[in-house]
Amino acid sequence: MIVGRCEGNRKAGLLYQPRLGKGSSERLMGFIVNPIAGMGGTVGLKGTDGEAVLRRALEIGARPIAPSRARLFLSELARLTGAVRITAGAGMMGEREARACGFECDVLGRRKKHTSANDTAEVAAAMASKGVDLLVFCGGDGTARDVLRGAGSAAPVLGVPTGVKMHSAVFAVDPRAAARIAAGFLQASLPLREAEVMDVDEEAFRKGRLSAALHGYMLTPFEANLIQGMKTASPMTESELRNQAAIATYVIERMKPGTVYILGPGTTTRIIADLLDLKKTLLGVDLICDGKMIVSDANERQVLKAIDRRPAQIIVTPIGGQGFVFGRGNQQISPKVIRRVGLDNILVVATWGKIQGLRSLRVDTGDPGLDDALRMQGLRLVTDYAVERLMAIE
């Protein structure tokens, strides 16, 4: 694989054209799956970094999600292009999903019952040495760090989002978008850019503190509408705080008796709880009914139990810089929860400052049919007191 070089000071977002070096029209794609990525999401553990956390996730009913999202990516890729040869991580690190989707593949690494971050880094390094035209991995920010450690900038990299926290700019917006990007790049029609690899301290994250750090850059195929941006924080100016308070006041005045309100993570949703004199978890999902906190930092199972045979409404705020309202850090509000509540009972709250900084709203629930239904309908958005509109989802 030969790529162009960036001259001058390194700067994320700089675009330049790749030069695919093979004379044959067949391209070689590396494929890695982190089989445990995202398992902590629906159970409210905010990640699966570390063996103890993984054991806890399994104990409380976590299920693998990376394999199914990997198959969704590969199925779409197969539909879009045929001239792709795959070299995959052994066993559950990609080989199993590749073969299930009809791809013949070379295999790197050893088949294991349990895999580690070092396995990901070693397979990524081997793929870069093998000269893959594109290295695709399925995971979250932790997996991106492992790939960076192994492959560096030796090969272009693309992330299929399957984790809980995805602050990095190397990810496609969803698995189907990742397939479109991979197909476009392997057909030499997309440029590369340097994209940030970010990660948060999971232990601090579980305690409600967001501590993110930049770990480096990787070369990533770029398509503006299909690659997610890096997560950015909203500035806490006086006007921003007033705007949040006006939104919260409007929402509270319209709360109905006996209805369960499912509040997603974020500062705007936290203000709603603050004005009710309730303590909300900043980075968790909380349930309010009749002015009382009925479940704090809830998981999917607790949400479903609370809304069984009771009216409910979901209140979420988009992630700054990315626009996601579902599928990034709030997987407790699962497709099952959303379908139970109903699409008409979803409310998005966001300040003017946050909305002006977004290209669009996005969803990535893990259920393509539900994502399509949300895109067709759009979502109700509140941006100030008594200021509502229907906003499209890209």
* 57-87: pLDDT as tens digits: 555 555 778 889 999 999 999 999 877 899 9
Over residues 149-155, the mean pLDDT reads 93
Beta strands 312-316; 212-221: pairing state:
unpaired
User: Both 385 and 249 in a single domain?
Assistant: yes
Bigger pLDDT: 227 or 9? 227
- The answer, yes or no, to whether residue 300 has pLDDT greater than 50, is yes
Q: What confidence score (pLDDT) does residue 43 get?
A: 47
The answer to whether residues 201 and 312 touch, using CB atoms and an 8 Å cutoff, is: no
Indicate the residue type of 112.
K
- The answer, yes or no, to whether residue 201 has pLDDT greater than 70, is no
Q: What is the DSSP letter of 318?
A: P
Distance between CA atoms of residues 45 and 11, nearest Å: 34
User: Both 49 and 161 in a single domain?
Assistant: yes
Which residue in this structure is represented by tokens 């500062």? 267
User: Both 96 and 21 in a single domain?
Assistant: yes
Indicate whether 230 belongs to any domain: no
Count of domains observed in the chain: 2
Q: What confidence score (pLDDT) does residue 38 get?
A: 64
Indicate whether 232 belongs to any domain: no
Indicate whether 105 belongs to any domain: yes
Residues forming a β-bridge with 362: 324
Bigger pLDDT: 259 or 203? 259
Find the helix or strand (DSSP H, E) in which 360 lies: none
Over residues 257-270, the mean pLDDT reads 95
Helix, strand or coil, per DSSP, at residue 182: helix
User: Both 251 and 134 in a single domain?
Assistant: no
Nearest residue to 97 via CA among 187, 177, 7, 37:
37
User: Per mean pLDDT, which range of 11-20, 222-231, 318-327, 331-340 is the poorest?
Assistant: 11-20
Q: What percent of the chain has pLDDT over 70?
A: 82
- The answer, yes or no, to whether residue 50 has pLDDT greater than 80, is no
Distance between CA atoms of residues 389 and 394, nearest Å: 16
Which residue in this structure is represented by tokens 């890209």? 394
- The answer, yes or no, to whether residue 21 has pLDDT greater than 60, is no
Sheet strand arrangement including 105-108? 105-108, 84-89, 27-33, 134-139, 157-161
User: Both 88 and 190 in a single domain?
Assistant: yes
User: Both 161 and 297 in a single domain?
Assistant: no
Distance between CA atoms of residues 27 and 136, nearest Å: 13
The answer to whether residues 168 and 144 touch, using CB atoms and an 8 Å cutoff, is: yes
Over residues 97-107, the mean pLDDT reads 92
The answer to whether residues 156 and 184 touch, using CB atoms and an 8 Å cutoff, is: no
Indicate whether 305 belongs to any domain: yes
**Of 160, 191, 221, at which residue does a domain stop?**
221
Over residues 183-210, the mean pLDDT reads 75
Q: What confidence score (pLDDT) does residue 5 get?
A: 35
316-351, pLDDT tens digit by residue?
Answer: 999 887 899 998 889 899 999 999 999 999 999 999
Around 63, how many Cα atoms within 13 Å sit in the side-chain half-sphere?
11
- The pLDDT mean for the chain works out to 85
Q: What confidence score (pLDDT) does residue 206 get?
A: 47
Confidence of residue 18 (pLDDT cuts 50, 70, 90): low
User: Both 64 and 209 in a single domain?
Assistant: yes
Confidence of residue 114 (pLDDT cuts 50, 70, 90): confident
Backbone phi, then psi, for 376, in 5-degree steps?
-65, -35
Indicate whether 226 belongs to any domain: no
Over residues 122-151, the mean pLDDT reads 95
- The answer, yes or no, to whether residue 36 has pLDDT greater than 90, is no
Q: What confidence score (pLDDT) does residue 52 get?
A: 60
- The answer, yes or no, to whether residue 17 has pLDDT greater than 60, is yes
The answer to whether residues 240 and 247 touch, using CB atoms and an 8 Å cutoff, is: no
Confidence of residue 6 (pLDDT cuts 50, 70, 90): very low
Q: What confidence score (pLDDT) does residue 113 get?
A: 84
**Of 188, 221, 254, at which residue does a domain stop?**
221
User: Both 20 and 159 in a single domain?
Assistant: yes
Confidence of residue 388 (pLDDT cuts 50, 70, 90): very high
User: Both 346 and 197 in a single domain?
Assistant: no
User: Both 250 and 190 in a single domain?
Assistant: no
Indicate whether 167 belongs to any domain: yes
Over residues 40-50, the mean pLDDT reads 53
User: Both 137 and 244 in a single domain?
Assistant: no
* Range of 25-39, 76-90, 171-185 with top mean pLDDT: 171-185
Distance between CA atoms of residues 84 and 25, nearest Å: 9
Would you say the pTM of this structure is higher than 0.85? Answer: no
User: Both 203 and 311 in a single domain?
Assistant: no
Indicate whether 244 belongs to any domain: yes
Q: What confidence score (pLDDT) does residue 23 get?
A: 47
Distance between CA atoms of residues 300 and 108, nearest Å: 36
Indicate whether 140 belongs to any domain: yes
Indicate the residue type of 173.
V
User: Per mean pLDDT, which range of 49-63, 71-85, 156-170, 376-390 is the poorest?
Assistant: 49-63
Backbone phi, then psi, for 344, in 5-degree steps?
-75, -10
The answer to whether residues 143 and 163 touch, using CB atoms and an 8 Å cutoff, is: yes
- The answer, yes or no, to whether residue 123 has pLDDT greater than 50, is yes
Confidence of residue 51 (pLDDT cuts 50, 70, 90): low
**Of 195, 221, 247, at which residue does a domain stop?**
221
Strands (E), the chain: 2-3, 15-16, 18-19, 27-33, 84-89, 105-108, 134-139, 157-161, 192-200, 212-221, 260-263, 286-289, 292-295, 312-316, 324-326, 346-349, 362-363, 379-384, 387-391
88 Cβ contact partners less than 8 Å away, ≥ 6 residues apart: 30, 31, 32, 94, 95, 97, 98, 103, 105, 106, 107, 108
How many other C-beta atoms lie within 10 A of the C-beta of residue 99? 15
Give helix 238-253 / helix 267-275 axis angle, nearest 10°: 60
User: Per mean pLDDT, which range of 37-41, 160-164, 298-302, 305-309 is the poorest?
Assistant: 37-41
Domain assignment of residue 317, given as a range:
238-391
Tokens, residue 62: 């976590």
Give helix 175-186 / helix 66-80 axis angle, nearest 10°: 40
Domain at 176, CATH number: 3.40.50
Residues forming a β-bridge with 85: 28
